[in-house]
Amino acid sequence: MLKFEKSPSEESPQPERELTPDELRKKLRDPNFLPSHKEIRKAFADWEQWMEFCFDKENPVFEFLNEEYLNALADYFVGKIQEYGASEEKPLVILEIGAGNGRLSHFLQQKLEERAPGQTKVVATDSGEWRLKRDFPVEQLKHDEAMKKYSPDIVIVSWMPYLQDSSKDIRKCPSVKEYILIGETDGGCCGDPWETWGQPWLLWDEDDEGGEKIPPYEADGFEREDLDELSDLQICRTDEPGRYRHSRTVSFKRKK
């Protein structure tokens, strides 16, 4: 009986070997690697490994970007193309301020080009104050300079520094229809509890009669929406291995 050997193209594909936790932690240092949520969870077995990785002085990690989260974030912005009347002739301008190493904007633009070619423009900017290593193109501009230059439709801020607030300046920019904050919320380690999140718990004093206070974003004509479906996909530095709950994604949208 004649025997026929299979050509290479006919052979059954071999399943790709899963990386070990050690291999995954090493690969997570590659800025071009966008891991899955599962791979991040697998990479860390204990708190000590987690802390050593996240709080590395040369390569600090604030938010673990992952495939599922970036896909969901891109889908969210695709919905904004029609809502805000963007097109190839007039792309939706998404400006990231405080972009750090530029990974968020880089991967977000990739995902958006797959879904809506030519209909979005993602720009990464950073003041350079923290002197973080830039893995992808990031234009050195202060946030007010960046907004003046690009007149964005949407602004993204990931992990706004603690007790600092840039949201009031974002709301003053007439082109901004919405801004997205990523990180800890409402008294966490991102932004200012009152100026950013409208939480009054630091304002009470002996002379205060406890009257109702209007959050600054509401006073400026914006409304808040917690994007829970996105937040459920996030992992950040202040979480614990196996318990992911601290980082959130929140939209502030200008009222019509």
Helix (H) or strand (E) holding 114: helix 103-115
Distance, CA of 94 to chain centre: 12
Closest CA to 92 of 183, 156, 172: 156
Contact 35, 63 (CB under 8 A): no
Contact 123, 139 (CB under 8 A): yes
Q: Greatest CA separation found in the chain?
A: 99
- Domain assignments of the chain as residue spans, ordered by start: 70-199+213-235+244-254
Q: With respect to CATH, is domain 70-199+213-235+244-254 assigned 1.10.10.10?
A: no
Dihedral of alpha carbons 84, 85, 88, 89, sign: negative
Token output for 22: 């050690």
| pLDDT confidence of residue 241 | 79
| pLDDT confidence of residue 213 | 86
What is the chain's mean pLDDT, rounded? 90
Query: Exposed, middle or buried: residue 79 (CB in 10 Å: 0-12, 13-18, 19+)?
Result: exposed
- pLDDT per residue of the chain (256 residues) written in tens, 0 to 9: 444 455 555 565 556 778 899 999 999 999 999 999 999 999 998 899 999 999 998 889 999 999 999 999 999 999 999 999 999 999 999 999 999 999 999 999 999 999 999 999 999 999 988 788 888 999 999 999 999 999 999 999 999 999 999 999 999 999 999 999 999 999 899 999 999 999 986 655 544 555 678 999 999 999 999 999 999 999 999 998 777 789 999 999 999 8
| pLDDT confidence of residue 54 | 94
